[in-house]
Amino acid sequence: MNARIASLVALMALVTTPSCKREESSQTPSTMGSAHRDGGCHCRRDASATPVARPLADTSVYGLDIAWRDQDDRTFSLASLRGSATVALMFYGTCQSACPVLVRDVLRVEAALSADARAHTRFVLVTFDPETDTPARLRALAEEKQLDLSRWTLLRASPDDVRTFATVLGVQFSRVGPSEFTHSNVITLLDARGEVSAQLEGLQQPVDDFAHRVEEAAR
């Protein structure tokens, strides 16, 4: 972990509202400290939203120096998403409970968008389990879920880098078995500059408010 990322992670540890200790069986919206809530949508409104040309803030995930690989084992830079709205979910492919529901929830968000917003939105799934979730498995998952790979990307990175990314998103996870994790159930909206602008917590939540925020971010 380089010095910039270390300082970023330290900063996020200070400013990120702790995510709930939500385990996979949970079915209800979480409370997230004093974060603003619109139904299930924890909208961290960014009053200082500015044009894309401005330098990236230290809280932008686009500044993270992470060697991502996609479902085709190609290198991938999150910074390539700059200028788009990005809906990000951390998950793992062998999860039998929450993750399949969360992926369906992201598909519901996608379906709720206008065609124009959908065209300006990217969907990113980041695995907690890069050892098990090989590119072939991620590719198979994309096919099984019928994810449109013109908009969706499934990503893996080193365990340390996955941990860094989770910290920036405020996602908690821990390994509880060889290929089993407990984790936060949270869908994150990154704005065009790669900063967290809204989060939807819980499973099978209403997606309208969150989708509205995506629409705004995709403009």
Question: Cβ of 58: how many Cβ atoms within 10 Å?
Answer: 12
CB of 121 to Cu ion, least distance (A): 23
Q: Looking at beta carbons only, is 103 or 211 nearer to Cu ion?
A: 103
Using CB under 5 A, which residues numbered 95 to 114 contact Cu ion? 95, 98-99
* Segment interacting with Cu ion, rule: CB under 5 A, options 61-69, 74-82, 87-95, 117-125: 87-95
| Among 12, 4, 3, 2, residue whose Cα is nearest residue 166 | 12
Considering the complex, state which of residue 22 and residue 118 has its C-beta at the smaller distance from Cu ion.
22
Residue nearest to Cu ion (CB): 95
DSSP 178: T
Nearer to Cu ion, 98 or 207 (CB): 98
Shortest Cβ 64–Cu ion spacing (Å): 23
Secondary structure in 3-state letters for 127-144: ECCCCCCCHHHHHHHHHH
126 binds Cu ion (CB under 5 A): no
Query: At closest approach, how far in Å is the CB of 199 from Cu ion?
Result: 17
SS3 212: helix
Answer positive or negative: Cα dihedral of 53, 58, 59, 64. positive
- Choices 47-55, 89-97, 167-175, 201-209 (CB under 5 A): range interacting with Cu ion: 89-97
- Give the Cα separation of 61 and 185 in Å (integer): 19
Region from 94-102, 133-141, 187-195, 205-213 binding Cu ion, contact rule CB under 5 A: 94-102
Nearest distance from C-beta of residue 100 to Cu ion, angstroms: 8
Q: Which candidate, 1, 26, 2, 62, places its Cα nearest to that of 172? A: 26
Closest by CA position to 195, among listed 76, 100, 56: 56
Task: Enumerate binding residues for Cu ion (CB under 5 A).
Answer: 95, 98-99
